[in-house]
A and B are shown apart, each in its own frame.
Chain A
Amino acid sequence: MATMVTQWELPMAETATHDTHATSTGLSNVKLGMWLFLGSECLLFGGLISTYMLYRGRVSDGPTPEQIYDIPFTSVSSFVLLMSSLTMVLAVAAAHKRDDRGTNLWLTITALLGATFVGGQVYEFTAFYNEGLGFTTSLFGSSFYTLTGFHGVHVTVGIIMLLAMVAINKRSRVPGSKSETVEMIGLYWHFVDIVWIIIFTLVYLIPV
């Protein structure tokens, strides 16, 4: 216990270096913060998924889920996003090996796969709208667009982070630990992927 107290009282700045900095827990505060953020995101998406589950059968007007869902198309989109998790983890591995070229390559491929997914979502939304499902057409429509739209925004934010990382990395202006920064973007990206794993099953594959 005495050891622990001593550690808590250690001044952080004294042991700080360019790439790493000491913390009272011995763990990266950035990483702790990111996991805490992802934990809180579970509550956000939990609310959106629950709302959809509650309202998916409430179709007063417009098409029903069974009438408009295109499972083969969404399956391909899901596969693309899943594979982007692989390329992301390869980017993190390359960053840990201080392989800048590999890191940039895998980050760019991840961004492209993410953009393909978002493009697919835009196409899907357009097709659904043309088939008569607007945002206010029914409770099903509202909850569907809100849930998948929020997820799409998260993917878009992830793409921006990936491309920004590539741009900053090319100029060698990454503040702090480069591998940790890539790892944090990776955690966010994988979280977006696991949310889609749940959405794909609960929203698309399980019928009303």
Chain B
Amino acid sequence: MTTQTAPDTHHNEVEHSEAEHGMSTRGYITIALILAAITALEVSTYYVDFGPLFLPSLLIMMVIKFIMVVSYFMHLKFDNKLFSWLFYTGLILAIGVYAAALSTFHFFLR
């Protein structure tokens, strides 16, 4: 939390700051083009044999796309860290809980 001033003043500052830190239209289009390119690469794995790199490359591309959308389109990169904490806590909790659940069914040993 960055609260150090009177709430009303700070709130206005935060709103102003958010408006300032939002990317330009060109920036958003660039991000969208990168996402589209990564999606095309993902789809190419269906047609081209990537060998042992198939699974890791797909997972890495998925994570990159996820982080790009969350960081830039959802503005988490520019917003207050408390929002990141709230979201990533839920995400990490979900990954932990379901990884544990899947491992009880020996999913990762298949």
With a cutoff of 8 Å between Cβ atoms, the chain B residues found around residue A21 in the complex are 11
Select which of A3, A193, A201 is within 8 A of B62 by beta carbon: A201
Residues of B within 8 A of A202 (CB): 62
Question: With contacts A25-B1, A39-B89, A46-B94 known, is A201 near B14, CB below 8 A?
Answer: no
B69 to A, closest residue via Cβ: A194
* A40 with B90, Cβ < 8 A, contacts A50-B102, A86-B29, A205-B45 known: yes
A residues 30-57 in Cβ contact with B at 8 Å: 31-32, 35-36, 38-43, 45-47, 49-50, 53-54
Partner of B25, one of A20, A90, A200: A90
Q: Is B69 in contact with A197, judged by CB distance below 8 angstroms?
A: yes
Q: Would you call B66 and A31 a contact (CB within 8 A)?
A: no
Cβ of B78 within 8 Å of any chain A Cβ, yes or no, is no
Question: A residues within 8 A CB of B65?
Answer: 194, 197
By a CB distance below 8 angstroms, the chain A residues around B2 are 26
Report the minimum CB–CB distance from A64 to chain B (whole Å). 16
Measured between alpha carbons, how far is A49 from B18 in the docked complex, in Å? Answer: 33
Q: Is A4 at the interface (CB under 8 A from chain B)?
A: yes
Decide: B87 and A38 in contact? CB cutoff 8 A: yes
Given A71-B43, A93-B25, are A50 and B58 also a contact pair (CB < 8 Å)? no
Q: In the complex the two chains form, is B102's CB within 8 Å of A85's CB?
A: no
Per the 8 Å Cβ criterion, residues 79-136 of A in contact with B are 79, 82-83, 85-86, 88-90, 92-93, 96
Indicate which residue in B35, B82, B88 contacts A25 across the interface (CB closer than 8 Å).
Answer: B82
Give chain B interface residues in 83-110, CB to chain A under 8 Å. 83, 86-91, 93-95, 97-98, 101-102, 105, 107
- A89 and B97 contact, CB distance less than 8 A: no
**Chain A residues in 8 Å Cβ range of B31:** 86
List residues of chain B with CB within 8 A of the CB of A36.
86, 90
- List B contacts of A32 (CB < 8 A): 82-83, 86
Chain B residues, Cβ within 8 Å of A42: 87, 90-91, 93-94
Minimal beta-carbon separation of B107 from chain A (angstroms): 6
Chain B residues, Cβ within 8 Å of A49: 98
- Report if A190 contacts B (CB, 8 A): yes
Residues of chain B with a CB closer than 8 A to A79's CB: 36, 39
Contact B14 A26 (CB under 8 A): yes
Q: Is A22 in contact with chain B by the CB < 8 A criterion? A: yes
Given contacts A39-B88, A89-B72, A193-B73, 4 further A-B contacts (CB under 8 A): A25-B82, A27-B82, A38-B90, A93-B22
Q: Which 6 A-B pairs rank lowest in CB-CB distance, beginning with the nearest?
A: A39-B90, A46-B94, A22-B7, A26-B10, A15-B8, A86-B32
**Interface residues of B, Cβ cutoff 8 Å to A:** 1-8, 10-12, 14-15, 18-19, 22, 25, 28-29, 31-32, 35-36, 39, 42-43, 45-46, 55, 58-59, 61-62, 65-66, 69-70, 72-74, 80, 82-83, 86-91, 93-95, 97-98, 101-102, 105, 107
